[in-house]
Structure 1
Amino acid sequence: MPDRAPQPVERQLPTEEARDLVALVRDIVQREIAPRAAEQEDAGHFPREIFTLLSEAGLLGLPYDSDFGGGDQPYEVYLQVLEELAAARLTVGLGVSVHSLACHALAGYGTKEQQSEHLPAMLGGGLLGAYCLSEPASGSDAASLRTKAVRDGGGTSHASGAESGGDWVITGTKAWITHGGIADFYTVLARTGGEGARGITAFLVPGDAEGLSAAVPEKKMGMKGSPTAQLHFDGVRVPDARRIGEEGQGFAIALSALDSGRLGIAACAIGVAQAALDEALEYATGRQQFGRPIADFQGLRFMLADMATQIEAGRALYLAAARLRDAGRPFSRQAAMAKLFCTDAAMKVTTDAVQVLGGYGYTADFPVERFMREAKVLQIVEGTNQIQRMVIARHLAGPETR
């Protein structure tokens, strides 16, 4: 059974421009993404042509500065675009979120020269990015990463006294990299100093750098169209001009990016949940049992009501966090809450959608089984939901005592 575009969500958008933007996204979804989503996911096809189209439409750089090719849109708008894309196909919605995450370091911490040189192509020039923090032995404990960047040569000094100039040589392995092996650029966190968070620095690495290779993509239970692979850095040389921020600032840059990225995951989760609810509603109102639609039965009606309530609550939570971010206020705790709640809600809603469809829900003839498989990964990526609880508790009660 072919996928259908989700029923339009009634959105509160701040400007006419934002309303036009969402209308454009819905048009692209209905024409280009939804009709082929199930077939392409089943075949493991990555829709690079869709990302090219989104770039041409100005949708890959929405939350960034228009001076460098971005869309100057607040996160309140950008996240609702992500939700629309993820409702049609998570590979696309999550892919846009990951691309935005990969641009964050340069947009937020790069020099004006670096931004002018690289951001226009990254934001609107058809390039696709990836973010390299996790490693085989350091997932949740990201500060223990082992990939090393060693300076080879040097020159003048910054005001801080650190060397500059020359190249860096990066050696190590990154894991669980969305777009691994197909990205045009990678934001890479590598160890340039001692142990712990203060010894990590960020770099912008070209996708075709010599010595950079990708392993065979992971075989996943969902998101089969989105390649996830290990990346091997075998003496990859990167000029100091591609170092982002100061030496040792990389972990702080990474955490800043993840706060924003978690909001992207939250929006994608609500998109998947909304698509599952739409499918469950269509089935329940059309399926006849005992002489009437199964949507007439109270047990199922209450299930649908709970699904809709979780979706609305999750949407309100991620938008509240986004508005804090847009206002320049702290939002780390709210981002963790949104990521936690929205992804747990997506898992519950998609599981219930399968239940609503009964045996049909367990078949690939209907998309709810795919939504359920896809929802699971959202509880894991960009900080597991157990990590989100640690972040929230730390904001409430302070650091853990030893």
Structure 2
Amino acid sequence: MTTADKSMGLALRAVRTLAESDLLDRVGLRKQVEKALYNGTRDGFRVAGAAGRTFAAAQKLGRPARQKKTKPRELFDVTPDEDQQMLVEVTKQFAAEAVRPVAQEADHHSETPKELLEQAAELGVTILGVPESLGGVVAERSAVTSVLIAEALAHGDIGIAVSILAPGAVPTALGLWGDAEQQAKYLPAFTEDNAPAAALAIVEPRPLFNPLKLDTTAKKDGTGFVLNGVKSMVPRAKDDELFIVAAELDGSGPALFLVESKTEGVFTEPEPAMGLRAAETGRLILENVKVPALALLGGGDLAVYEECIHRSRIAWCALATGAAQAALDYLIPYVNTREAFGEPISHRQSVAFMISDIGIETDAMRLLTYRAASRADMGRTFAREAALARRLCADKGMKIGSDSVQLLGGHGYIKEHPAERWYRDLRAVGVMEGALLV
């Protein structure tokens, strides 16, 4: 705890002690002190954005660097090639040996261990969208590869997977839609050993959120823009050094903006959620944040923003599929060994049917997700496929989480088994927007 944190805590404690005494009533100051206590509690945990680094272009690019498009296939076939298979196997091993053992602790403390984040960075999973000419590791653009890796990580834990993958959304967006100047300024930092934490911030704290109707605004101001608004459920918000923020551009429609955390008017505050606790979600608060013209990503094109939403939803479907598969892999041996009335509970028709449904729906979720990702790679329209995958994964993922708790009975309700965590995490798929990108 920092000296500032301790001082704030002591100050609030002193005000609370004073508020509990009858001295305030005798001197007529209760209303003033209660107001101070309210404001201190409300704003006390709001902090300025991470100091971060200074992003500067080390070289000038004549034109934007782009990854090559995947060669189209005549038949629908997403069988991993050798490179993809190698990445998936390494990621699966990492998820099983490093992610799964610490998942419960990370969920309890609402934080992914930094050592784990460093190990994940060494795998290169956060720079899959960086063009090879700028230090990336993959020559061809591949949403399918990103989906396979996200699915493998989520088999270990969704919350930790979000914490690991969220920073990769920013270089992926820059690789897809950034101009030469934006790429030269920001992308090199993501290929360094000490890569910055970053996030794609789209969700806002209001019911029935629609990503095409935003309350966060961006108004032209001279040669730049002024941003105001609040973003919700931002992974690792307090550590992020760079954000891509969705905002309504002068009433003309939503657009994406690059915002450095050290910019004046950028604040973050904790926002613990029901699920995804290991992702350490928080709120991003923008108060008259001035950004230059360079901050506008993709020229403010609505088609770019819509593609961003579709690609994000595919990423969340991949996480849902990975967690659903993890539940199935956990439930089958459980129902085969758990006995009731002298026989395994899997002999009960109702149990067997529930397990079968989970297997069927998991495969359906996987195929729809792969189909959407493969169409994105081939340069074909994929909005419909992304929407279908999102609808199925949101509905069936939530049901699989609920059925997992049900099949484990009393064990499903306690933290000794991971079912209750899957239940909480899988519910996020239907409400999250942004944060991830393929």
Give the structure-1-normalised TM-score: 0.81
Q: 2:348 & 2:219 partners in 1: Cα distance?
A: 66
Q: Distance in 2 between matches of 1:52 and 1:225?
A: 15
Aligned equivalent of 2:150: 82
Q: Is it true that 1:53 corresponds to 2:110 in the alignment? A: no
2:244 to 167, 187, 201: 187
Q: 1:228 & 1:367 partners in 2: Cα distance?
A: 20
Give CA-to-partner distance per residue, 1:260-316, whole Å, 9 cap, x none.
111101110011111111121121112122222222222211211111111111111
1:58–1:124 contact (8 Å) kept in structure 2: no
Structure 1 residue 21: Cα displacement? 0.8
| SS at 1:209 equivalent | coil
Q: Counterpart of 2:261?
A: 207
Deviations, residues 41-80 of structure 1 (Å, cap 9, x unaligned):
1121233433332222211122442223334262222201
1:115 and 2:169 correspond: no
Percentage identity across aligned positions? 30
Give secondary structure in 2 for the equivalent of 1:127.
coil
> Is the 1:188–1:205 Cα contact (8 Å) retained in structure 2?
yes
Instruction: Provide the C-alpha distance between the structure 1 equivalents of 2:192 and 2:89, rounded to a whole number of angstroms.
Output: 20
Alignment partners' CA distance in 2, 1:145 and 1:60: 27
2:403, 2:192 → 1: CA distance?
A: 39
On the 8 A contact 1:60/1:123 being kept in 2, the answer is no
Please list the CA deviations of residues 15-53 of structure 1 after superposition, one character each: whole Å capped at 9, or x if unmatched: 211111112112222332111111221121233433332
- 1:3-402 to structure 2, matched below 5 A, reads 13-72=79-138, 74-122=142-190, 126-136=195-205, 140-154=209-223, 167-193=224-250, 195-197=251-253, 200-215=254-269, 217-246=270-299, 248-249=300-301, 251-382=302-433
**How many residue pairs are counted as aligned between the two chains?**
355
Q: Is the 8 A contact 1:46 1:226 kept in 2?
A: yes
Q: Which amino acid aligns with 1:147?
A: T
Superposed CA deviations along residues 76-95 of structure 1, whole A, max 9, x for unmatched, are 22201101111111112233
Separation (CA, whole Å) in 2 of partners of 1:99 and 1:337: 26
Hey, what's the Cα distance between the residues in 2 that align with 1:333 and 1:12?
Answer: 19
Measure the CA separation in 2 of the matches of 1:210 and 1:350: 42
Deviation at 1:128, TM superposition (A): 2.3
What is the alpha-carbon distance in structure 2 between the residues aligned to residue 325 and residue 210 of structure 1?
37
Q: Which amino acid aligns with 2:204?
A: E
Give how far 1:152 is off.
4.6
Tell me how large the CA RMSD over aligned residues is: 2.4
Render the CA deviation track for 1:213-247: whole Å, top value 9, x for unaligned: 112x223222222222222222333232333232x
Relative contact order, higher structure (CA 8 A, sep 6+): 2
Matched residue type, 1:262: R
**Structure 1 moving runs of 4+ over 4 Å:** 150-153
Distance 1:169 1:114 in 2: 19
Counterparts of 1:303 and 1:145, CA distance in 2 = 40
Structure 1: 5+ residue runs without aligned partners?
1-10, 155-166, 384-402
CA–CA distance in structure 2, aligned partners of residues 340 and 124 of structure 1: 37
Deviation at 1:188, TM superposition (A): 1.5
| Structure 2 match to 1:398 | none
> Is the partner of 2:125 in helix, strand or coil?
coil
TM-score, with length taken from structure 2: 0.75
**2-side partners of 1:138 and 1:252: how far apart?**
25
Pair member with larger Rg: 2
Equivalent position amino acid for 1:237 in 2: K
Change (3 A) 1:70 1:83: same
- Counterpart of 1:399? none
